[in-house]
């Protein structure tokens, strides 16, 4: 596979993966905890915290999209954003161990945060390395 084709595949994978934090972040900002199934009474502070964290989640998703056009040159930004996501994944894992398994959607989020995102970082690193290689080896 040529570097250009592999780069396009990575760009598509990242664009698709960005849909999750952008959609979930937007839902959380606009609806607060309601979109996850609202108990009869949600404390105001919990609503505020969910919306705040959803805004961060939305911002991280949008920031990842800025890496897509020149993904082979966005290693530091891509790794920083990924580190934020992985840190959140470890926090979610801590919750799973402390209070039990969340819903399927949150378990899927855990999988994305601790498996998919690190794999995307490795892929981005591979693409960046291939684009830094001498031009005579890029077709290999």
Determine the structural domain holding residue 115 and report its residue range: 3-132
Q: Give domain status of residue 137, yes or no.
A: no
| pTM for the model | 0.89
Q: What is the pLDDT of residues 99-135, one digit of tens each?
A: 999 999 999 999 999 999 999 999 999 999 999 866 5
Query: Structural domain tally of the chain?
Result: 1
Q: Residue 138 domain-assigned?
A: no
Query: 111: helix, coil or strand?
Result: helix
- For residue 113, count other CB atoms closer than 10 A to its CB: 23
What is the rounded CA–CA span in Å between residue 38 and residue 1? 48
User: Does some domain include residue 139?
Assistant: no
pLDDT tens digit string along 61-108? 999 999 999 999 999 999 999 999 999 999 999 999 999 999 999 999
């Amino acid at each position: 596979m040529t570097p250009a084709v592999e780069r396009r595949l990575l760009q598509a994978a990242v664009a698709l993966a960005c849909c999750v934090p952008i959609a979930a972040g937007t839902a959380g900002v606009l609806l607060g905890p309601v979109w996850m199934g609202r108990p009869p009474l949600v404390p105001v502070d919990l609503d505020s915290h969910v919306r705040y964290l959803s805004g961060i989640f939305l911002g991280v998703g949008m920031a990842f999209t800025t890496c897509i056009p020149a993904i082979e040159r966005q290693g530091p930004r891509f790794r920083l954003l990924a580190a934020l996501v992985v840190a959140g994944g470890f926090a979610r894992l801590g919750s799973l161990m402390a209070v039990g398994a969340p819903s399927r959607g949150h378990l899927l989020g855990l999988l994305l945060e601790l498996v998919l995102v690190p794999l995307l970082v490795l892929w981005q690193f591979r693409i960046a390395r291939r684009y830094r290689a001498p031009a005579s080896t890029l077709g290999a």
